[in-house]
């Protein structure tokens, strides 16, 4: 009887060990590599690598904060890398995420091209990539799961339509200077394209100068100084691809002795607090919204992917446009 009881205990213990070993191996596989094919891993706790463009603007700071906190608040582990607006840094960061066997990569590409090889490496390692904010321009769309961000062409169209309406009834040529974003980046290419689409139907609107200010205040100011030096009083409108460059340019306009918002109509993109302050002070006329606060939506998408859902290839963020006369009232409500 005693011998039988001992045998029973041994068999029971062996069974328990087998069951526990099976459970722990499922969990490890689930959390290590999940596939680009989708939904193999559990989304309980994921390790997520986030390669951000940089810290070039107010918009970017808000976007980084939104994504970082959404990932950690949801209980996932974050590995973060700031590329300082350099493509080579992003390629290095993605390779390092692959080597660390993260579960997913969140990636905002500084420019549209040149990332095929490294994204192929992520795909071969079975790591799904989620593009945020900026898109890429290459054929193979199996290299990322989905893109979440703004419609930059639409933003350029909105800016131009506002201008055409604002200038209705003004005779003669309207001279525009354009501060472009980072050369080769999706927002710079698309905001230019959208704006020019509308301008093409209105030949009296002429873009007389166009140059990159790299999305920063300092560069925006510097390039605007050069525009003013060569074209001074001829400039009617400034179209800046983001608010930071517009704010830098406003300083240049004031230092030149003109009144921004009056002598020169100032258009920005992003709708950051700084733009609302400039509008409330009468120095900027309009800003087209580009919403950076999509961290929680991104995390939902990542978790849906790991739960086996198929996501749309492109998911756009809803956005508006705000003018000088709304600024004072809306400023206290702005979240970025
Ligand atoms: O990609 C989004 C753009 O990048 C924002 O408009 C700009 O402010 C940022 O630097």
Q: Which domain holds residue 276?
A: 152-290
Same domain for 278 and 167: yes
We report the CATH number of the domain holding residue 242 as 3.40.50.2300
* Same domain? 297 vs 263: no
pLDDT the model gives residue 318:
85
**Cα separation, 68 vs 139, whole angstroms:** 30
Same domain, 117 and 89: yes
Residue 325 included in any domain: no
Q: Are residues 179 and 116 in the same domain?
A: no
Q: What is the pLDDT of residue 148?
A: 98
Which of 148, 181, 183 best tests ligand 1's pocket when mutated (most atoms within 8 Å of CB)? 181
d(CA 320, CA 336): 14
Average pLDDT per consecutive 10 residues, the chain (336 residues; last block may be shorter): 53 51 37 42 86 98 98 98 98 98 98 98 98 96 98 98 97 97 98 98 97 98 98 96 98 98 98 98 98 97 98 94 97 96
User: Is 30 within a domain?
Assistant: no
Residue 6 forms part of a structural domain: no
- Ligand 1 pocket, 290 CB below 6 A? yes
CB 153 within 8 A of CB 190: yes
302 and 277 share a domain? no
Please report whether residue 142 resides in a domain.
Answer: yes
32 located within any domain: no
Residue 239 sits in the same domain as residue 129: no
> How far does residue 133's CA lie from ligand 1's centre (Å)?
8
DSSP conformational letter for 167: T
Is residue 92 situated within a structural domain? Answer: yes
How far away, in angstroms, is 187 Cα from ligand 1 center? 7
127 and 78 part of one domain = yes
Residue 257 lies in a domain: yes
Q: What is the number of structural domains in the chain? A: 2
Residues 156 and 286 both lie in one domain: yes
CB of 242 within 6 A of ligand 1: the answer is: yes
3-state secondary structure of 158: helix
* b (16+ CB within 10 A) / e for 79-107: bebbbebebebbbebbeebbeeebbbbbb
56 in contact with ligand 1, CB cutoff 6 A: yes
pTM for the complete prediction?
0.88
Residues 166 and 284 in one domain: yes
Q: 131 and 109 in one domain?
A: yes
Q: Are residues 195 and 273 in the same domain?
A: yes
| Residue 16 located in a structural domain | no
The finding on whether 215 has its CB within 6 A of some atom of ligand 1 is yes
Structure confidence at residue 41 (pLDDT): 58
Predicted local confidence at residue 217, as pLDDT: 98
- Are residues 278 and 166 part of one domain? yes
Residue 59 CA: nearest ligand 1 atom is: 8
Cβ atoms of 185 and 111 within 8 Å: the answer is: yes
């Amino acid at each position: 009887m005693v011998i039988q009881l001992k045998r029973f205990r041994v068999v029971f213990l062996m069974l328990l060990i087998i069951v526990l070993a099976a459970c722990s191996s499922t969990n490890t596989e689930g959390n290590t590599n999940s596939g680009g094919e989708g939904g193999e891993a559990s989304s309980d706790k994921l390790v997520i690598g986030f390669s951000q463009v940089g810290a070039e603007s107010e918009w970017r700071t808000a976007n980084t904060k939104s994504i970082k906190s959404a990932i950690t608040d949801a209980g996932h582990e974050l590995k973060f890398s700031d590329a300082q607006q350099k493509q080579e840094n992003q390629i290095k960061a993605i390779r390092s995420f692959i080597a660390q066997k993260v579960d997913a990569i969140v990636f905002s590409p500084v420019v549209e091209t040149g990332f095929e090889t490294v994204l192929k490496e992520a795909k071969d390692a079975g790591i799904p990539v989620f593009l945020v904010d900026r898109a890429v321009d290459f054929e193979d769309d199996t290299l990322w799961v989905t893109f979440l961000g703004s419609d930059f062409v639409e933003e350029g169209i909105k800016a131009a339509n506002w201008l055409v309406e604002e200038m209705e009834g003004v005779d003669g040529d309207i001279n525009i200077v354009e501060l472009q974003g980072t050369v080769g980046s999706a927002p710079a290419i698309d905001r230019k394209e959208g704006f020019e689409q509308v301008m093409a139907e209105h030949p009296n609107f002429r873009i007389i100068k166009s140059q990159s200010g790299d999305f920063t205040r300092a560069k925006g100011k510097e390039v605007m100084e050069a525009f003013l030096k060569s074209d001074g009083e001829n400039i009617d409108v400034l179209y800046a691809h983001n608010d930071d460059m517009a704010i830098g340019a406003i300083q240049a306009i004031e230092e030149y002795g003109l009144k921004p918002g009056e002598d020169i109509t100032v258009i920005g993109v992003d709708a950051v607090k700084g733009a609302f302050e400039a509008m409330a002070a009468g120095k900027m006329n309009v800003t087209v919204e580009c919403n950076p606060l999509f961290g929680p939506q991104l995390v939902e998408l990542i978790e849906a992917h790991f739960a086996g859902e198929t996501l749309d290839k492109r998911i756009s963020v809803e956005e508006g446009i705000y003018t000088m006369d709304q600024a004072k009232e809306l400023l206290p409500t702005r979240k970025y």
